[in-house]
Structure 1
Amino acid sequence: MTIKQLLASTFIILLAFSCKTPEARKPISKSSDSFIKQSININKAVVKREESLIKAIIKKDSTRTYFASKNGFWYTYNKKNNTDTLKPGYGDEVEFNFNILSLDNDTIYSRSELGERALVIDKENIFSGLRQGLKLMKVNETVTFLFPSHKVYGYYGDNQRIGKNIPVKSVVTLNKINTDETLTN
């Protein structure tokens, strides 16, 4: 065999083996789902405990009618507006007052401390329970909300007065709604 034939055959062999499709590599270590499963079980237990506390408060308060929202919190009307039909929606600016209490009615943040607030619905950062609760209200209504911790500050708290996994009560008064149309005119 000549050098040309040897190089040609070597080239053909290399070409044939280089066209092989890559094989998938197996992972070196396998991760387990045990941490995720444990976290899910802990969170389910926290939600169940908080819902039990809230349902016990509702059961004791026989003078009021409480409603369960589809968003996972409960509320009752302190002052209801039966004449208006307008409720805030996406992009509407609302002005409101609220406080935050423990489920035992201890003041965490007072109404005067928080002051009157204005925010644009779904465009500004506020805890999810209050954002969803405001959408249920009409002007001049005052509503007491009972929020499980996952609807307020959840696992981390607010890094000030509300600790982790603390359900709260909030009394909210909706003072004004500026609809999206009135904001653009």
Structure 2
Amino acid sequence: MHKFIAIFGSVLLLLVSCQTPEARRPLQRSSGSFIKESTARNKELLKQEEERIQAMINADTTRDYITSESGFWYYYNVKDSLATPMPEVGDQVAFRYDIKDLNGNVILSEEENGTQNYVIDQTNQDLISGIRDGLKLMKEGEQVTFLFPSYKAYGYYGIQEKLGVNVPVQSTVTLQSIKQTLENQ
């Protein structure tokens, strides 16, 4: 009888231990509607900003605007016609810039910002993505005015007490020098 109970217990234990674990179900289900609504809001915001910038460009017949692959527009104030190189990853650049709203009101002046030193795509610096991308399009001595939608500028954060959230801006950047790394020479 003891053998029978031991064998029966072993078989029962073997059957119970062979079951696969059952997945726990979530207590709450998320429909994903917040993300869908946020995406729709952001698309509409971008559309409005791009329309505003495009209207500004269409009204300005004195300049030749260029559309960048990164999602902003720019024109040259001073263009270098020589075959000088553009900065590459790892090059150190010195530049000056300002930030204005699209109406031309100064938000941050060149004097406030001072001369900035930046290593292309390697410096963890408080610099908006539009300027980081724009510097790669410039040559030493050039001055370029960029028109950035808010997502390439200060986006959801703005600048405390100076610039609201989701505001497109323009920035005039003067690239003073490029110091190439050994790999890029």
TM-score > 0.5, shorter chain as reference: yes
* Counterpart residue number, 2:132: 131
Q: CA deviation at 1:183?
A: 9.8
Number of equivalent positions: 183
- Cα RMSD (Å): 1.7
* Counterpart residue number, 1:143: 144
- Compute the TM-score of the two structures, normalised by the length of structure 1: 0.93
Residues 85-118 of structure 1, C-alpha deviation per residue, up to 9 Å, x if partnerless? 3000101001111100010000001111111111
Q: CA deviation at 1:28?
A: 2.7
- Compute the TM-score of the two structures, normalised by the length of structure 2: 0.93
Sequence identity percentage: 46
Residues 36-92 of structure 1, C-alpha deviation per residue, up to 9 Å, x if partnerless? 000000000110111111111101110000000000000000111001330001010
* Counterpart residue number, 1:57: 56
Check 1:182–1:114 CA distance in 2 against 1; reply closer, same or farther (3 A cut): farther
* Counterpart residue number, 2:156: 155
Structure 1 letter corresponding to 2:51: S
Residues 100-146 of structure 1, C-alpha deviation per residue, up to 9 Å, x if partnerless? 00100000011111111111111122211000000000111110000
Distance 2:40 2:97 in 1: 33
1:26-175 counterparts in 2 under 5 A? Answer: 26-124=25-123, 125=125, 126-175=127-176
- Of 18-27 and 90-99, more deviation after overlay is shown by 18-27
Q: CA deviation at 1:151?
A: 0.3
Distance 2:96 2:90 in 1: 19
